Structure 1
Amino acid sequence: MVKMLKNKLEIDPNEFAMNLIKSTVKEPGDTNQRFIKEQLTLYLESYYLIKDFNKLETSQFETMKHQQISELFDKMLVRRFNP
């Protein structure tokens, strides 16, 4: 469900959404149709929320990598020109 790849968090959107809807309980007054619609809505919202989270995590991870590389080059240049 959740993978850690060198400090990068990735969540499986399908598995997350399925576990979320499995935990919902039908209210006594709800019809089957209403309950199914609510579960479908919950599934879709959570699925796309996690996909967005994973994209954000990836972009932040890449930004951090680029920033760290830039800082490393800056340090190397400073040392080269200021022995």
Structure 2
Amino acid sequence: MKEKIDIDPKEFAYAVIGNYQVDSEDDEVVSKKKLSLYLTAYYLADKFNQLEQDQFNLSKSNDLKKMLGMIGTNKY
């Protein structure tokens, strides 16, 4: 069984904006672009963690094991 992956949304978002170069001299434009990117990266990591948790829970579910057993024996 694979190990569950968990991404720290805050660390991920900081890493993303830390490696992003904005092509503008205007502080407000730079701030808006970096804030938008930070929020996008944060919520993307959070959504990934939720999907990973759902997948991890499903793989441990008895219903899934029962269903896979039925598929393997063609006893629908």
Q: TM-score, normalised by structure 2?
A: 0.76
Structure 2 residue runs without a partner (length 5+): 70-76
1:8 aligns with 2:25: no
Give structure 1 regions of 4+ aligned residues with deviation exceeding 6 angstroms.
Answer: none
Q: Which has the higher contact order (CA 8 A, sep 6+)?
A: 2
Aligned length: 67
Identity among equivalent positions (%) equals: 37
Q: TM-score, normalised by structure 1?
A: 0.70
* Structure 1 segments unaligned to the other structure (5+ residues): 1-5, 75-83
Report the residue type matching 2:41 in the other structure: S
Of structures 1 and 2, the larger Rg is shown by: 1
Greater strand share, structure number: 1
